[in-house]
Structure 1
Amino acid sequence: MRRINSDEERLALLEKTEQVIIEMTQRSNAISGYGKSLLQPYLRQQKQLWVPRDPLFAMYKIMFPNEVEIRKRMFRRKKGQFLVPGPNYQWCIDGHDKPKAYGFEIYAAIDAYSRNIIWFYVGHSATTALSVLKQYLTACDAYGFRPWYLQADKGSETPLIAAAHWNFALAADGRVEWNGQVFQQGKRLKDSYKAASSTKNVKIEKWWESMLHVSSRQWVDYFGELARDGDFDGDMLEDQIAMYAVFEGILRQELFDFVETWNLHWIRLQKNRPHVVHGQPWMNYHYPDPGKACNWGIPIDRCVLDEMQRPLADIDISTCLEPETKDWCRQVLVEMGYDNAILRARQESDKSRPFKRF
C-alpha cells in the first residue's frame, strides 16, 4: 500500500471508489447497508481500495441518505449489558428465518465475548436437528475445542446439539485457570448448556439484525415480490429448483462477504458502555488481552467426536441441489447467458429485479 500525498491522488481514489460502489449497486444494494464501521474494511478486503474512513463516509451519506437515517434510528435504542469473561466462554447459536419461505435457511454461531462469528451456514436444511448437529461438530472438529457454555433457543433443531455438547462435557473435565483462580465445570446439563427463547439470545439476535440490514433484507424483499407477483411458488418443485440454481451462489457469496467483513471490522470504544469489548472481533477472539480475559475453550475428546460424526458422514448439507440436478441447471443457465449477466453491468430497469428472466 502506497501513501497518498497529493489532493489529486485523493480525489482520483474517491472517484474510483464512487464508481466501484455504483457498479456494485447495479448487482445488489447490499453495499448501501454497510455504514461507517463496515464500509471501509469491506472495500479493503473485497476491492483492495484503501480509502480514508471520513471522506468515504461523507461520500456514503450523499449516495445513501435513507440508509444513514435508518442507522441513526437503530443506534438510538437503549441497550442492556451482557458480560462474559473471555472468548469461548459462550457461543450463542440460532437460525435466521427470514429467507426460509423461499427455500433458504441460515444458521450461525457467535462468540459472546468477542462477537466473532464462529461458523455461518446457508443451505436448505439449516434448522433440521441433524444439520445443526453436523454444523456444530464440524466447528468443534476444526477448532479442536468446545465452548464452556453453549446457548441456543428452545427450537426443535436443538436437542441433538445439546446432547452432543453435554457428551463433550461428560467426556473431558471443564477446567480453566486464570488470575490465580481455578474454575471447574459441573457435570449437569445446565452447567454447560443454556436454553432460552430467541429474544433472550441477545448476541446472535443483534447480529442477525445487522446482517438483515446490510445483506439479507434486500433479498428477502425481492423474493417476497417474486412470490406476490406469481413468479415463485414454494410448493412448486420446479420453482424451488430454479430459485436454488439462480440465487444460491449469489446469496451465499454476499452473506459470506458480510461475515468476513464483520469479523475484521473495528468495534469502537463506547464511553457509555465500558463493558463492550472494542477492537476487531477476529483479533479479540484469537488474541484476547491476557489482563482482561482468557480463553475458555475446552479441548474435545476425539473419540467422542468421531463416534458422533460417524452417523452423519453421508448427510450432505453443503448444497441445496443434488449434484446431477445442479449440473443440469448449470448447463441450461450457461446456454441462457447467465454468466454474462453476472459479469456485465445490467440495465437500470433490471437492478431491482436481478436475474428474474432466468
Structure 2
Amino acid sequence: MSDLDKCQLVLNEMAKDPNGKCSPRTIKEILALEQSVHLTRFVWYIEDPEGFQARDPTAKKIKRSVLVCLGPHHEWSGNGHDKLSAIGFPIWGVRDIRSGKWLGLWVVPNNRLKDTVGYLFLKLVHEYGGMPLQMTMDCGSETVAVYGFANALREEFASNIPNDVLPPHKFLQSIHNITIESGWLRLRLDWGENVKIFWEAGSGTYNALNPQHDMLVQWVWPTLIQAELDALKDRFNNHHVRKDRGKFLPSGVTPNIAFALYQKYRGEYGLQAADRDIIAKLMEDLGGDELIRFVSLEYAAKAQRVYDSLNLPKLSLTNVWDIFQAMLPHM
C-alpha cells in the first residue's frame, strides 16, 4: 500500500475523532483490527504533528494499591457509565478483574434501575453458564438486585463456599472500583467525547418535541451506539497491554489472551457453574429484554424494514444524521 493510501486511512479515522483524543497507538490498533493495515508512527505524525503535544493527562491520579485476583471469573467488576446520559444513552458494563477483559457493554434506557442492572448481570451469567466467585460494584441503589442475585445464586449453586470467607458480592466506592473505572476513562477519551460532538451536529435536524423524530432517534442512535460498543469491546479486548513487572495481574498480553490462557499466567479458573434454564427463568420474571429496549418490537421491526429497503450504508457516527433524514419520511 502506498504512503498516500496509508495517510488517507489515517485521515478517515481522524475524521471520526473530532475531539482529537485518539492516540497514534489507538488509530494503529483500529486499522490493524478492522482493515488489517499496519501503520508506522511516522504516518500519523505527518498528518497530526500537534496531536502528540495536545494529548496530556486530564485528571489527578488517585494513589492505587496493587490489584490481586487469582484467575478469570474470580471477580467481576461492574458499574454504569453516565457520560452519555445527558443525551439519553447511559451505558452499563462488566469487566473481568484478573484479565481486564470486557465481558459486557450495553447501552440501556436507564442504568440506574435495579431491575435493568440485575437483568444484565443475569444475562452475563447465562452467557457464560456460571457466576464469578465475587461481584464488585459501587454503592448505588441500582446494585441491590445484583447483590440479591449474587447471594441467591451462591446459595443455590456454590453453597460449599463460605460467605464469611469470600462474600459473593462486594461494595466499593467508585474511585476504588479500579478495573471498571479505568475502563470507563479510556472509553470516554477514545470514543465517548466524540459521540457527543456527532450528536450535537444534528441540532438543526432533530426536534425532540416531535414524536416522530424522537421515536426514530430512539431506534437509530441506540442501534448505532450498541454496534460501536460491540466494536470497542472487541478492540479493547485485543489491545496489547504494556508489560508491567510491578503488576500482579497479567501484563504484556491482550486481555483475551490473559483470559483464555489463564494457566499460562498462573491463574485459576473461578467460574461457578449455574443452571442456564433457571437463569433464563429469572431473567424473564424480571422483565426480559423489555428492560433494555428503547422502542417496541413492532417499531424496531418497521425501522429495520425501512432501513433495509432504502439500501442505506452501514450506520456510523459520520452518517447517522443522514440516515435519520433518509428514513424519516417513511416512518
TM-score (norm 2): 0.82
CA contact (8 A) 1:106 1:123 kept: yes
- Cα distance 1:256–1:304, how it changes in 2: closer, same or farther (>3 A)? closer
Q: Does 1:292 align with 2:263?
A: no
Query: Are residues 231 and 267 of structure 1, via their aligned partners in 2, closer, same or farther at CA, if it must alter by over 3 Å?
Result: same
Q: Does 1:131 align with 2:116?
A: yes
Matched, 1:47 2:23: no
How far off its partner does 1:92 sit? 0.6
- Residue among 9, 27, 36 paired with 1:20: 9
Contact 1:129 1:159 in 2 (8 A): yes
Deviation at 1:216, TM superposition (A): 1.5
Q: Report the more deviating stretch, 165-174 or 218-227.
A: 218-227
Alignment match of 1:196 (pick from 172, 176, 186): 172
Structure 1: how far apart are the matches of 2:159 and 2:103?
20
Does residue 43 of structure 2 align to residue 59 of structure 1? yes
Task: Kindly tell me the number of residue pairs found equivalent between the two proteins.
Answer: 323
Tell me if 1:311 matches 2:285.
yes
**Structure 2 counterpart of 1:211, which letter?**
L
Task: Return the alpha-carbon distance in structure 2 between the equivalents of residues 120 and 240 of structure 1.
Answer: 24
Whether the 8 Å CA contact 1:115–1:281 is kept in 2: the answer is: yes
Go from structure 1 to structure 2 and tell me whether the alpha carbon gap of 1:116 and 1:37 turns closer, same or farther (over 3 Å shift).
farther
Written as runs of structure 1 = structure 2, the 5 A alignment for 1:61-100 is 61-65=45-49, 67-73=51-57, 77=61, 80=64, 81-100=66-85
User: Which residue type is aligned with residue 15 of structure 1?
Assistant: L
Percent identity over the alignment is 15
5+ unaligned residues in a row in structure 1: which ranges?
1-8, 176-184, 344-349
Q: CA contact under 8 A between 1:98 and 1:220: conserved in structure 2?
A: no
Secondary structure in structure 2 of the residue aligned to 1:73: coil
Q: Is the 8 A contact 2:114 2:142 kept in 1?
A: yes
Aligned to 1:4: none
- Residue type of the alignment partner of 1:101: A
Given that residues 103 and 240 in structure 1 are in contact (C-alpha distance below 8 angstroms), is that contact kept between their aligned partners in structure 2? no
Q: 1:59 to 1:73 in 2, by over 3 A?
A: farther
Structure 2 contact 70–267 (Cα < 8 Å) conserved:
yes
Give RMSD over aligned pairs.
3.5
Q: Which of 181, 184, 190 is the equivalent residue of 1:208?
A: 184
Alignment-mate amino acid for residue 18 of structure 1: C
Question: Contact conserved, 2:136 with 2:171, CA < 8 A, in 1?
Answer: yes
Matched residues in 2 for 1:338 and 1:126: separation? 33
**Counterparts in 2 of 1:173 and 1:220: CA distance versus 1, 3 Å:** same
Q: For residues 51 and 320 of structure 2, what CA distance do their matches in structure 1 show?
A: 20
The residue number in structure 1 matching 2:234 is 260
Tell me if the contact between 2:19 and 2:193 (Cα under 8 Å) persists in the aligned partners: no
Aligned residue for 1:148? 133
8 A contact 1:148–1:174 mirrored in 2: no
Letter paired with 1:223: W
Counterpart selection for 1:223 from 180, 186, 199: 199
User: 1:292 corresponds to which letter in structure 2?
Assistant: R
Q: How many Å separate the matches in 2 of 1:198 and 1:232?
A: 35
1:323 aligns with 2:311: no
Q: State the TM-score, normalizing by the size of structure 1.
A: 0.76
Quote the offset at 1:64 in angstroms.
3.7
The correspondence for 2:102, drawn from 117, 122, 128, is 117
Match of 1:5 in 2: none
Paired amino acid for 1:133: G
Asked whether the equivalents of residues 126 and 280 of structure 2 are also in contact (C-alpha less than 8 Å), the reply is no
Deviation at 1:29, TM superposition (A): 1.8
CA contact (8 A) 1:226 1:232 kept: no
CA distance in 1, matches of 2:118, 2:104: 13
Which 4+ stretches in 1 moved above 6 angstroms? 331-335, 350-353
Counterparts of 2:98 and 2:81, CA distance in 1: 21
CA 1:173 to 1:252, structure 2 compared with 1: closer, same or farther past 3 Å? closer
Larger Rg: 1
Seen in structure 2, the aligned counterparts of structure 1 residues 189 and 120 have a Cα distance that, compared at 3 Å, is: farther
Gaps of 5+ in 2: 326-331
